[in-house]
């Protein structure tokens, strides 16, 4: 049977756009946003993907929002939940509900620079290599098992904006690839460890899959 996935966004969702642009071995069942006016909703609708909103402002607390969001996700019975610029911290119970089938992408080479303003932090630290990480989501923020990483050089004269742009280009390569691996049945989480079958390196991208 064709596997189904749901994408969660809060804004434009450029990684969602990159995923939807690829011919994946699965179907996007829905794009869900916590913000009614997220630009990515129009893009998804234009691609014929069902869209819906679970507005966090309409719920009394995180637990209530998480419950409403989970109920909406479960309506689509997805095999995979994809966070693509979803700017809400999800509670532990929510994360455990989708354990082993929820992916996120973070704009740094984790475990370095978790959280926000990663490009500013990388420049302040003086690192020479920066990048992006696709990982399974766990209750610990930005600390889930790593699936794949892409590295870019930090250049003299870089600003957070120029560095972010180069990192984003690589995000748009490695995130669809990770999603593809999962939908093909090659990527899974077993006893807290990433398992990836039949990996081949992609030209132009430094990728470091976990065993």
The answer to whether residues 101 and 145 touch, using CB atoms and an 8 Å cutoff, is no
Classify 125 as helix, strand or coil: helix
Q: Which of 106, 119, 135, 172 is catalytic?
A: 106
CA distances from 68 to 34, 54, 164 (A): 11, 7, 33
Q: Has 135 been annotated as catalytic? A: no
Residues 105, 84: Cα–Cα separation, whole Å: 7
Q: How many CB atoms lie within 10 A of CB 123?
A: 15
Name the burial class of residue 204, with classes exposed (0-12), middle (13-18) and buried (19+) by CB atoms within 10 angstroms of its CB: exposed
Q: Which residues are tagged catalytic?
A: 106
């Amino acid at each position: 049977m064709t596997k189904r996935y749901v994408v969660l966004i809060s804004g434009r969702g450029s990684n969602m756009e990159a995923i939807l642009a690829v011919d994946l071995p699965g179907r996007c069942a829905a794009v869900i946003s916590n913000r009614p006016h997220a630009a990515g909703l129009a893009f998804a609708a234009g691609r014929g993907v069902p869209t819906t909103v679970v507005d966090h402002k309409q719920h009394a607390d995180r637990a209530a929002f998480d419950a409403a969001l989970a109920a909406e996700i479960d309506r689509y019975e997805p095999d995979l939940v994809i966070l693509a610029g979803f700017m809400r911290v999800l509670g532990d119970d929510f994360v455990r509900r989708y354990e082993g089938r929820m992916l996120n992408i973070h704009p740094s080479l984790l475990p370095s620079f978790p959280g926000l303003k990663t490009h500013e932090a990388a420049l302040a630290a003086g690192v020479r290599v920066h990048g992006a990480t696709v990982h399974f989501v766990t209750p610990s923020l930005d600390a889930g098992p790593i699936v794949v990483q892409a590295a870019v050089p930090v250049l003299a004269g870089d600003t957070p904006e120029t560095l972010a742009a180069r990192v984003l280009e690589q995000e748009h390569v490695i995130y669809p690839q990770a999603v593809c691996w999962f939908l093909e049945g090659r990527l899974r989480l077993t006893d807290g460890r990433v398992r990836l079958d039949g990996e081949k390196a992609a030209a132009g991208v430094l990728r470091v899959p976990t065993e």
